[in-house]
Amino acid sequence: MFVTKNVAELCVLLRLIATLFSKGRSTTAQLAHHTALNQRQVRHGLAVLVQQNAIFHLTDPDTSVAYYDVNPEALYNLVRTGKILEMVRDKYGDIAKSLVQDVLLLGHVKISDLIETFKDGLKKAKFGNGVVKDEDEDDDVFGIGGNRNHVNGVNGGSVNGFEDDDEAGATHQAYLFLARLIAAGILEPVSAMMFQSPTDLKTAIEQEVLKASFPTGIRGIKQKKELEVAVAERAKEFQQGRTNMKRRLEVEFDHEASVKRRKLLNGSGMANGVSGAGAIDLLKEYADVVVRVNYDKCLVELRNVKLAQYVDDLIGDTTAQVYEALLSALSKKINRCQVDPMTRTEDDGDTFAGPSVNTLEIFEHLSPSIDVSAGIGIPEPGLVDQQSAEKIRRYPPKPKASILQSSLEAGDEIMGSDDEDYDRSDEIGFGANGYVGDFPGSRPGSNGTKGEKPHSDDAASVRAQRMRHMRQHLLLLAESKEGFVRHCGGENRGEWTVDFEHLMGHLRLQELDILIEASFGRKGLRLVRVLREKGKLDDKMLPNIALMRRPDVHVKMAEMEMAGFLDIQEVPRDNQRAAARTIFFWFFDEERTLKRTLDNVYKSMVRCFQRLETERKKKQGVLAVTERKDVQGMEEEKLRGDVYNEYCQFLEIEKKLLGQVDKLDDLVAVFRDY
C-alpha cells in the first residue's frame, strides 16, 4: 500500500510513543528492536518528539548512552492548544496569539528565528483576507486598568500603524509582544535540565547536595530532614533561575507603567500605549535564547477564566469582572497552579504563604469600561453590620466534616482596611442614600473631607467612589459560601487573597454533584450528600435521614455502587456471616470517586477521538478533495452540491465531537490540574 512521507513519519511517532508507554524508559537500540524500525527512523522520530517536549531524555555519564522516557503531561497538553491560543488572544491580542501559535508548532525555537517566522507569516498573509485594526480601538497595550489589549492586525492590513511591507515596524511589534509574553510567563527560556524528568532532576539535585554537604552519608532522621530542606532550596534556586529573564522584563514594563500612572494621576496626560523600548532592547540582547510555551503558567491563566465563569454563574457578570481583575493581579505572583513536589517538604503542611494583593493593585487591573456600580443591591438603613462585613481572616479556612466552612480562627481580628487611596469614613455601609450611619464624611461625594461641597467632576472623587463600589464586590465574594476571596491583612493594611486549594476542593465537589445528578437524579444526589456529611451509615438508618422509602434507597444505592460512586462495608455480628446477622455500612469515598470519575472522563475523550477518526475514514474521499490547495478556502464555490453537503455534515460532526472533548477537558482540569 502506497503511503506519503508525512503518513510514514506520523506512524513512526505513534509507534515510538506507544512503545515508550508500554516498555518504559528505553534506549535507541531498544526502541528499534521493539518497533521494528531502523536506527535512522528511530533517531528522526526521537528528534521530533524532543523538539515538541513530548519525551524526556537522560544520558548516562559513565556509558554515554541516552535513555528516553515519555512525557504524558506534555502530550495531554496538546488537547488544550485551542484553549491556550484563545486565552492568549483575549488577554494579549492577535499578534501575541500568532507568536504563541508559532512556538506551539515549532516546539521550542530561538527568539531570532521566531521573529523571522512571524515576519514570514505576515508576508504570506499580505494578499489574504486581513484584519484591520479599528480606529477607535484601545491601543493601551501595557497600560493599567486591566484592558484586555485586543490588538488586531496580524493577517494582512496594518499592524498598529505599520504596513506589512514595513519590516522595521513588524519587527518592533513582534519584539514588543514577545517581550510581553515572556514577562507574563506564557513563554519561558529553555534550559538543558528541562528535558529531564522530574524524578531524574530531583535525583541529580540530591546527588549534588550529598556530595557538597553530606560527604559521609546520611545518618538519622535529623540529617534526612536537613537533606530534604537542602534539596528543596536547590530546587527553588533552579526554578528562580528559569525566571531571570521574566523578572528583568517585568521590571522594564513596571517602570514604564508607573511613569504613565503618575502622569495620569497628575492630570498631565500621556499617549496611549507603552513603548517598551527598554524591554525590546533587553530582548534583542538575548536573541539566541530558546523559548517554549510555559504550560504551568497557561494553566494559571485558564484557571482564572474558569473561576470567573463560576462567579458569573453564581453571583453576576459585574462581580465576575471584578474577580477577574483580582485574579489577574494575583496571577503575577503565581507561577503554577499546584505546589512543585520538588520544593515541598514535610514541614510545609501547616504553613501558608499564599500571595495577596491590596485594593489599589486590583483597581489598576480593572477595566475602565466596567460599571462597578451595577450588580450591587442597596439594603435598608441599619441592616448592614459593618464589622461583620469587614472582618479579616488571617488564615485560610479548614475543612470541617468534609465541608469547607470559613470561620474566624483563634487569633483572628476584626480590623478595618486602610488600603491606599481609600477613606475609611466612606465605608459605613449602604443605606437609603447609599450608606448607613450619620458619621462625618460618610456621605457620597464628601471624599472624607468636612464642610466642603462635593464635586462630581473631580477625578479623585470619581476614582474614590469607583474604588468603594469595587470593594463592595470584593466583600460580596468574601462572604460567599464558596469562599472565592478571603479578606486577609497584616497589622497595618487589609488585603485580598484566594485560597485556591480550598476553593478548588469545593468546586470539585460541585462538578461531581452535577455528574451524579445527571446520572442518578435528585434522589441519588441527596443520598451522596447525606453520606458525605454523616460519614458511614447503616442501611437501616439511611432511609429515615434521607426521607426516602427503603426500597427506593436500596435500589438507588445498588445502582450507584455498581457505577463506583458509593462503597459498602460489611460487618458480621458472628462467625456465620449470615446476611440477617450482618451490618451494612454505606459510605462515600471522595478521593476514590474522583479518581474513577477522572478515568471515565479519559475514556470518554478517547472514544470521541476514535469516533472522529472513523468519521474521517467515511468521508476520506471528500476530505481528500478539500485538502487541495486550489480548493482550500473556497469549498463552496469549487465543490459540487452533494460533495459540499457531505463536507458540511462532516464539519458539523467534527464540531460536536471536539466540543465534547473541550467540555471533558474542563472536568480534567478541575479534577486534576487546578
Cell numbers 494578499 label which residue? 127
Cell numbers 465563569 label which residue? 309
- pTM, entire model: 0.79
Predicted pLDDT of residue 85:
93
Instruction: State the burial class of residue 302 (Cβ atoms within 10 Å of its Cβ: 0-12, 13-18, 19+).
Output: buried
On whether the CB atoms of residues 261 and 364 are closer than 8 A, the answer is yes
Predicted pLDDT of residue 221:
80
Cα torsion through 65, 70, 74, 75, rounded to 10: 140
Q: Is 629 helix (H, G, I), strand (E, B) or coil?
A: coil
Alpha-carbon distance 372 to 318, whole Å?
6
DSSP conformational letter for 379: P
- List all residues 6 or more positions away from 663 whose beta carbon is below 8 Å from its beta carbon: none
Q: Which of 198, 200, 133 is nearest to 164 (CA)?
A: 133
Predicted pLDDT of residue 439:
29
On whether the CB atoms of residues 486 and 394 are closer than 8 A, the answer is no
Alpha-carbon distance 417 to 496, whole Å?
10
Contacts for 445-454: CB closer than 8 Å, 24+ residues apart? 447/423, 448/423
What type of residue is 61? P
Predicted pLDDT of residue 426:
36
On whether the CB atoms of residues 53 and 107 are closer than 8 A, the answer is yes
Helix and strand numbers (H, E) in the chain are 24, 14
Give whole-number Cα distances, 325 to 284, 374, 482, in Å. Answer: 31, 16, 18
Instruction: State the burial class of residue 168 (Cβ atoms within 10 Å of its Cβ: 0-12, 13-18, 19+).
Output: exposed
**Residue numbers in the chain where pLDDT is lower than 50:** 1-4, 7, 129-165, 264-265, 267-274, 350-351, 401-456, 491-492
Question: What's CA 529's distance to the chain center, in Å?
Answer: 29
- List all residues 6 or more positions away from 150 whose beta carbon is below 8 Å from its beta carbon: 89, 90, 93, 94, 137, 138
- List all residues 6 or more positions away from 649 whose beta carbon is below 8 Å from its beta carbon: 619
Grid cell locating 325: 481583575
Alpha-carbon distance 674 to 670, whole Å?
5
Predicted pLDDT of residue 157:
39
Enclosing H/E stretch for 70:
strand 66-70
DSSP track, 429-464: ---TTS--S--TT-STT-TT-SS----TT-HHHHHH
Q: Is 278 helix (H, G, I), strand (E, B) or coil?
A: helix
Q: Is 88 helix (H, G, I), strand (E, B) or coil?
A: helix
Instruction: State the burial class of residue 618 (Cβ atoms within 10 Å of its Cβ: 0-12, 13-18, 19+).
Output: middle
Grid cell locating 311: 462567579
Cell numbers 492630570 label which residue? 267
Enclosing H/E stretch for 210:
helix 198-213
Grid cell locating 574: 458472628
Cα torsion through 166, 167, 172, 173, rounded to 10: 70
DSSP track, 391-434: ---SS--EEETTEEE--PPTT--------TT--GGG-S---TTS
CA angle 501, 492, 503 (to 5 degrees): 10
Task: List phi, psi (to 5°) of 16.
Answer: -65, -45
- For 11-47, letters b (16+ CB in 10 Å) and e give ebbebbbebbeeeeebeeebbbebbebeeebbebbbe
DSSP conformational letter for 380: P
DSSP track, 7-69: HHHHHHHHHHHHHHHHH-SB-HHHHHHHHT--HHHHHHHHHHHHHTT-EEEEE-TTT--EEEE
Grid cell locating 408: 474566624
